[in-house]
Amino acid sequence: MPKLTINGKTVDAPEGATVLEAARMAEIDIPTLCHHPKLTPFGGCRLCIVEIKGIPRPVTSCTTPVSEGMEVTTSSPQIEDLRKTVLELILSDHPNDCMVCERAGDCTLQEMAYTYGIRENKFAGERRVYEKKDGNPFIERDLEKCIMCGRCVKVCREVQGVEAIDFGYRGFKAKICTAYEKDLNCEFCGQCVSVCPTGALTGKMWSLKGRKKDVREVDTTCAYCGTGCNITLHVKGNEVVRVTSREDTLNEGWLCVKGRFGYKFINSPDRLTKPLIRRDGRFEEVSWEEAFDCIANKLTEIKAAFGADAIGGLSSARCTNEENYAFQKMIRAAVGTNNVDHCARL
Ligand code: SF4
Ligand code: SF4
Ligand code: SF4
């Protein structure tokens, strides 16, 4: 295990760790934009530069492995000046429309600009202008806000295994695009949206529905399948306006298209909110007590007339483990039959 010093502090880092990882283990902050702990290092944004004794120029800490006896300095007037210049260069080709941006208040670039006090920009010049809108149904791609960090490309390749997007063109014309610049037509998992550090990728459905400060976050479990991914509902008033997922959960922050974008049913006015009983061929709304009494009476009648095995219970893979456990317990223990199954058998 290599022993190094970072800002004079001795750190034991695991073999193969990068200087950035070692610093974060020692709770020493190094700013980054392109780095993501679950993706391979890129070294693209250059914000994580540090000084290492014996190396005549700053190096990117996210791509430099630790070695025995290394002496690292993460912050100095020269390093901070370089970081500020890097940020100014990025922001010189950025719309800076935080007032209406979906990510304002939850944007790493905005946070960095605040930290480094960037107000005036000495690099004002030509800016990229993209008028073409992507017609895909889920993901708003605002390429003018893209800082070319490459996180979206990496997550699509390394986590989702789809490779729907990549770097295209070179220099000032470089951009993240699909093959032949067609509209995005992929799995729409939204992993790229979740790792984007700016407002370049957002959900079309949550446009102008409320930003981070406007919503209440409620952690829950996705009900679409038995995997049980952890999700966070962003609730404004009584409406779910967005779904995200935390990185410290069993699904590590990743979701599928249903979990991330299939939430509109929650607020649909077509949803049943009261039980229905069919009488004379027509459904009538009834209270929960009346519905439960009806179910209990019918089950009791059938059991008395034909035995418990005349009854079967079908549960759902869209329920949680706990709900399915309670259901099979009711069928087995209360009704008295092992006729219990669920819809995933289809
Ligand atoms: S991406 Fe960030 S910095 Fe850019 S406009 Fe949106 S909130 Fe502001
Ligand atoms: S939504 Fe998923 S599949 Fe589509 S580009 Fe983003 S990461 Fe790739
Ligand atoms: S779209 Fe977002 S994640 Fe992708 S390169 Fe641009 S800023 Fe980075």
Phi, psi for 78 (deg, rounded to 5): -70, -45
**pLDDT at residue number 345:** 67
State the amino acid at position 290 in one-letter form.
E
pLDDT at 346 > cutoff 60: no
Helix or strand or coil: residue 182?
coil
**pLDDT at residue number 200:** 97
Reading the block at residue 109, the tokens are: 């670039």
| Segment 124-148, tens digit of pLDDT | 888 999 988 899 999 999 999 999 9
Q: What is the mean pLDDT of residues 180-187?
A: 96
Reading the block at residue 178, the tokens are: 């699909």
**pLDDT at residue number 1:** 87
Range 232-238 contact pairs with CB under 8 angstroms and sequence separation of 24 or more: 233/263, 233/266, 234/206, 234/210, 236/209, 236/210
Share of the chain above pLDDT 70, in %: 99
Q: What is the mean pLDDT of residues 188-200?
A: 98
| Segment 146-164, tens digit of pLDDT | 999 999 999 999 999 999 9
What does the alpha-carbon distance between residue 236 and residue 44 come to, in Å, rounded to a whole number?
A: 36
Q: What is the mean pLDDT of the chain?
A: 95
| Segment 262-305, tens digit of pLDDT | 999 999 999 999 999 999 999 999 999 999 999 999 999 999 99
> Any idea which ligand is nearest the CA of 203?
2
Q: Where residue 223 falls among pLDDT bands split at 50, 70, 90?
A: confident
Q: Whose CA is nearest to atom 7 of ligand 1?
A: 104
DSSP sequence for 99-137: TT-TTTTS-HHHHHHHHTT--S-TT--------PPP--S
Q: What is the mean pLDDT of residues 7-36?
A: 97
**pLDDT at residue number 119:** 87
**pLDDT at residue number 121:** 85
Helix or strand or coil: residue 337?
coil
**pLDDT at residue number 329:** 97
Among candidate residues 153, 141, 147, the one with its CA nearest the CA of residue 96: 147
Reading the block at residue 237, the tokens are: 């008033």
> Any idea which ligand is nearest the CA of 98?
1
Number of residues that make up the chain: 346
Q: Which residue has the higher pLDDT, 258 or 121?
A: 258
Which atom of ligand 1 is found nearest the CA of 107? 2
- Residue 275 burial by CB count (10 A; 0-12/13-18/19+): exposed, middle or buried? middle
**pLDDT at residue number 160:** 98
What does the alpha-carbon distance between residue 226 and residue 342 come to, in Å, rounded to a whole number?
A: 11
**pLDDT at residue number 185:** 97
- Give the max Cα distance, the chain: 90
> Any idea which ligand is nearest the CA of 164?
2
Q: Which structural domains are found in the chain, ordered by start?
A: 3-75 (3.10.20.740), 214-270 (2.20.25.90), 276-345 (no CATH)
| Segment 63-122, tens digit of pLDDT | 999 999 999 999 999 999 999 999 999 999 999 899 999 999 999 999 999 999 998 888
pTM of the model: 0.89
Q: Where residue 52 falls among pLDDT bands split at 50, 70, 90?
A: very high
Share of the chain above pLDDT 90, in %: 90
What does the alpha-carbon distance between residue 196 and residue 150 come to, in Å, rounded to a whole number?
A: 9
Centre of ligand 1 to C-alpha 149, Å, is: 14
Range 99-102 contact pairs with CB under 8 angstroms and sequence separation of 24 or more: 101/145, 101/199, 102/140, 102/199, 102/202, 102/206, 102/207, 102/208, 102/211
Q: Which residues approach ligand 3 with their CB closer than 6 A?
A: 146-152, 176, 195-196, 198, 200-201
Reading the block at residue 174, the tokens are: 């470089």
Alpha-helix residue ranges (DSSP H) falling in the chain? 19-25, 77-91, 108-115, 151-154, 191-195, 257-261, 288-306, 321-329
Cβ–ligand 2 contact at 160 (below 6 Å): yes
